[in-house]
């Protein structure tokens, strides 16, 4: 019997995934976790074959969970399913130890094909839209890519929320952090990107498709 752990902080999403996964041809046991800490505890207790993992969760973010799972249980397969931009987060998921990335904007049939592929030992990631640049040539776009790579996963999420017009308070509520912590993130992001104002940050983020 295949055991799958579904990790998402939205009960309707977990229910929809449970229904689809339970209908797989092979016998499938589906367990759920609502946040990163619960995911680690469930993985320890249930020993799943596959973890379907959201990125944006309270307590411990999805990429942190993926990295910890890879360290503690090297044999477990991990499929990240997220509404975040694959262009920015698919490679981060891969570096964290996931075997696949599926966008929540895709239909359920695509998700199920990703599940089957990852369970069968394949890696499933979207094709990158970035083009290789000759060695020694630094374009403005490449410089922006390098700047983005300096940001931590949580900093990218905060930058995205800023670009969408969210206030410090709203960001803090969504990420379960204080206003002071949000301000600290903003300061670090501005330093890493060389931005002088929040307007510069938002402009940068929107040019990168984060809004």
Assign residue 169 the CATH number of its domain: 1.10.10.10
| pLDDT score for 27 | 67
- Selected residue with higher pLDDT from 6 and 153: 6
> How high does pLDDT run on average in the chain?
84
pLDDT digits (tens, 9 = 90+) for 63-121: 889 999 999 999 999 999 988 878 778 888 888 899 999 988 888 999 999 999 999 99
| pLDDT score for 135 | 39
pLDDT digits (tens, 9 = 90+) for 120-136: 999 888 865 333 333 34
pTM as predicted:
0.69
| pLDDT score for 88 | 78
The percentage of residues in the chain with a pLDDT greater than 90, rounded to a whole number, is 42
| pLDDT score for 86 | 83
Pair 10, 110 in one domain: yes
Pair 68, 33 in one domain: yes
Pair 30, 112 in one domain: yes
Pair 29, 93 in one domain: yes
In this prediction, residues 154-169 reach a mean pLDDT of 87
**Which of 7-16, 24-33, 159-168 tops mean pLDDT?**
7-16
The answer to whether residue 83 is domain-embedded is yes
- Selected residue with higher pLDDT from 95 and 58: 95
Pair 39, 79 in one domain: yes
Pair 80, 33 in one domain: yes
Give, in order, the Cα–Cα distances in Å from 4 to each of 33, 128, 205. Answer: 11, 28, 35
Pair 94, 51 in one domain: yes
Q: By residue range, what is the domain housing residue 196?
A: 140-207
Instruction: State the pLDDT confidence band at 144, using cuts at 50, 70 and 90.
Output: low
Q: Is the pLDDT of residue 143 over 50?
A: no
| pLDDT score for 211 | 65
- For 45, the token pair is 């207790």
In this prediction, residues 141-151 reach a mean pLDDT of 62
| pLDDT score for 174 | 79
User: Tell me, what CATH number does 28's domain have?
Assistant: 3.40.50.2300
Pair 9, 72 in one domain: yes
| pLDDT score for 133 | 33
The answer to whether residue 128 is domain-embedded is no
| pLDDT score for 131 | 36
Pair 32, 107 in one domain: yes
Pair 177, 78 in one domain: no
In this prediction, residues 34-52 reach a mean pLDDT of 94
């Amino acid at each position: 019997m295949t055991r799958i752990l579904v990790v998402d902080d939205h009960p309707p999403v977990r229910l929809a995934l449970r229904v689809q996964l339970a209908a797989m041809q092979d016998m499938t046991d589906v367990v759920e976790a609502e946040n990163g800490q619960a995911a680690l505890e469930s993985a320890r207790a249930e020993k799943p074959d596959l973890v379907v993992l959201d990125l944006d969760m309270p307590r411990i973010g999805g990429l942190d969970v993926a990295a910890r799972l890879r360290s503690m249980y090297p044999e477990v397969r991990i499929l990240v399913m997220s509404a975040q931009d694959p262009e920015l987060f698919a490679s981060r998921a891969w570096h964290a130890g996931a075997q696949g990335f599926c966008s929540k904007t895709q239909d359920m049939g695509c998700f199920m094909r990703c599940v089957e592929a990852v369970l069968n030992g394949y890696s499933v990631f979207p094709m990158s839209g970035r083009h290789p640049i000759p060695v020694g040539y630094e374009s403005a776009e490449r410089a922006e890519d390098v700047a983005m790579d300096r940001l931590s996963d949580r900093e990218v999420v905060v930058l995205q929320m800023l670009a969408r017009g969210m206030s410090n308070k709203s960001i803090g509520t969504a990420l379960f952090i204080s206003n002071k912590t949000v301000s600290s993130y903003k300061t670090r992001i501005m330093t890493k990107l060389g931005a002088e104002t929040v307007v510069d940050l938002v402009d940068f983020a929107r040019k990168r498709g984060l809004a």
